C-alpha cells in the first residue's frame, strides 16, 4: 500500500482523513446531523491535520526523534507510565518546579484549550448533538447513542451550554498572566520575539474574546451584530488552526511524546550510569550516551577527541572545561575539581 503514495506524509494524511470521514458518517448518523454553520471549522481542522502531519513527520524522521519514539513505545507500559502521564499531561507537575505562577498560567491555557477542543470538535463533526423533548429535557446524543437526559434548567445543562464560555475565561486568565510575565520579566523580554512568543498568545486571546462576544450578543444585545462577530470568530479560529502546527502552539499536540522521553531517561538510568571520562561522575545513562554518539554518527558529526574519548562521554562541567582548553591552550579539562559555581547536572 505504501507504494501507492508519494510520501509518508501523503499516506498518513489520506488514512487520517478517511478515518475521520468514517467517524463523521457513523457519528452524525449518515451526515444527517452535520451543522453547516460550523462548516468553516471543519475545513480548518482538515487543513490543521495536513499541517500537523507534515510537521510531525518532518520532525519524527530526525534520528534523535525516531530513536526516542521507537524506544518510548517499547517502554510505554512501565509501571511508572500512568504517574508520568498524569504529571506531564494532566497536572503539569514538572512546571510547578518553576513556580506556582507559571504553573497556573499553563494549567489555565492548556486545559482551557484542551476542554475547548473536547467540546468543539464533537460538535463540528456531528459526533455530539442535542435533541429537545416536550417535557423540558434535552437528550445528549453521542455517536448516535442517547447518552443522557438533562433538565434544560439544571446545572448540567448550564455547564454543557456554557462550557466554551468557561474555557474562554480560563484561556483569557492564563494568557493575561503569560503576557504580564513576558512584558514585565526582563529575562523573558530579552529572549522572546513577537512572532514566535507573543503572537500565539494574542491569537488565543482574540479567539476567547470574540467567543464571549457571541454570548454577549445573544443574551445582552438581543442578537445585534451576531453574524459579523460569528464570521470574525470563525476566521480567527481557522487561522489559528492553520498556524498551530508551525508555531509555538505545536507543543500542545506534541506534548504526549514527553512521556516517551521521561520513560527513556528513567528506565535506562536505573540500569547503568555513564561515568564522565575526566572526573568519573555518573551524569547520564550508558544507553543515552551510546545513543547520542550513534545519532551524531548518522549525521556525519564526529566529536571524538585526540585523547581517545568522545565529547558526549564528558559531563557538562568537564565538557565546558574541555572547550576552554581548546581555546586557551591550558589543559583545564584534566583538572579533577569542578568549578566552585558550577551546579549543572546531567
Q: What is the dihedral of CA 166, 171, 176, 181, to 10 degrees?
A: 140
How many angstroms separate the CA atoms of 287 and 220, rounded?
62
Mean pLDDT, range 197-211, rounded to an integer: 93
Task: Flag the least confident range among 2-11, 66-75, 151-160, 174-183.
Answer: 2-11
pLDDT at 345: 45
pLDDT digits (tens, 9 = 90+) for 12-31: 888 888 888 898 888 888 88
pLDDT digits (tens, 9 = 90+) for 243-293: 988 888 888 888 888 888 888 888 888 888 888 887 888 888 988 888 888
Give CA angle at 37 (31, 40), nearest 5°: 90
pLDDT at 189: 81
Mean pLDDT, range 316-338, rounded to an integer: 69
How many angstroms separate the CA atoms of 167 and 111, rounded?
8
Q: Assign 282 to helix, strand or coil.
A: strand
Set out the domains of the chain in order of their start, with CATH numbers.
2-258 (1.20.950), 272-334 (no CATH)
Q: Assign 254 to helix, strand or coil.
A: helix
pLDDT digits (tens, 9 = 90+) for 71-106: 888 888 888 889 988 988 899 888 988 889 999 999
pLDDT at 202: 94
**0.85 cut: is pTM over it?**
no
How many angstroms separate the CA atoms of 171 and 205, rounded?
7
Question: Alpha helix locations (H) across the chain?
Answer: 8-27, 39-60, 63-74, 81-89, 93-96, 100-124, 155-161, 163-184, 186-191, 199-219, 226-243, 251-254, 257-271, 286-298, 316-328
pLDDT at 343: 47
Query: What backbone torsions phi and psi does residue 98 show, to the nearest 5 degrees?
Result: -85, -5
Amino acid at each position: 500500500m505504501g507504494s501507492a503514495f508519494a510520501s509518508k506524509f501523503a499516506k498518513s494524511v489520506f488514512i487520517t482523513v478517511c478515518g475521520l470521514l468514517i467517524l463523521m458518517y457513523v457519528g452524525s448518523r449518515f451526515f444527517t446531523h452535520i451543522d453547516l454553520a460550523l462548516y468553516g471549522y471543519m475545513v480548518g481542522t482538515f487543513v490543521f491535520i495536513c499541517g500537523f502531519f507534515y510537521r510531525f513527520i518532518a520532525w519524527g524522521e530526525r534520528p534523535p526523534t525516531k530513536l526516542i519514539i521507537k524506544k518510548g513505545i517499547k517502554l510505554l507500559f512501565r509501571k511508572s507510565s500512568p504517574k508520568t502521564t498524569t504529571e506531564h499531561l494532566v497536572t503539569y507537575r514538572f512546571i510547578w518546579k518553576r513556580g506556582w505562577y507559571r504553573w497556573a498560567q499553563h494549567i489555565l491555557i492548556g486545559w482551557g484549550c484542551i476542554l475547548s477542543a473536547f467540546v468543539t470538535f464533537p460538535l463540528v463533526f456531528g459526533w455530539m448533538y442535542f435533541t429537545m423533548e416536550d417535557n423540558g429535557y434535552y437528550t445528549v446524543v453521542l455517536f448516535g447513542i442517547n447518552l443522557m437526559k438533562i433538565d434544560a434548567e439544571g446545572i448540567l445543562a448550564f455547564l454543557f451550554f456554557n462550557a466554551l464560555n468557561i474555557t474562554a475565561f480560563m484561556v483569557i486568565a492564563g494568557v493575561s498572566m503569560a503576557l504580564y510575565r513576558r512584558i514585565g520579566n526582563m529575562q523573558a523580554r530579552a529572549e522572546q520575539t513577537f512572532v514566535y512568543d507573543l503572537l500565539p498568545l494574542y491569537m488565543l486571546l482574540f479567539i476567547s474574546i470574540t467567543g464571549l462576544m457571541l454570548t454577549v450578543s445573544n443574551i445582552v444585545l438581543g442578537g445585534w451584530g451576531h453574524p459579523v462577530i460569528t464570521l470574525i470568530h470563525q476566521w480567527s479560529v481557522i487561522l489559528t488552526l492553520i498556524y498551530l502546527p508551525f508555531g509555538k502552539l505545536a507543543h500542545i499536540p506534541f506534548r504526549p511524546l514527553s512521556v516517551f522521553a521521561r520513560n527513556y531517561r528513567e528506565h535506562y538510568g536505573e540500569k547503568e550510569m555513564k561515568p564522565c571520562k575526566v572526573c568519573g561522575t555518573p551524569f547520564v545513562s550508558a544507553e543515552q550516551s551510546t545513543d547520542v554518539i550513534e545519532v551524531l554518527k548518522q549525521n556525519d558529526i564526529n566529536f571524538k577527541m585526540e585523547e581517545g574519548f568522545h565529547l558526549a562521554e564528558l559531563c557538562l562541567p568537564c565538557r565546558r572545561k574541555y572547550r576552554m582548553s581548546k581555546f586557551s591552550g591550558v589543559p583545564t579539562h584534566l583538572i579533577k575539581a569542578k568549578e566552585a559555581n558550577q551546579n549543572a547536572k546531567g
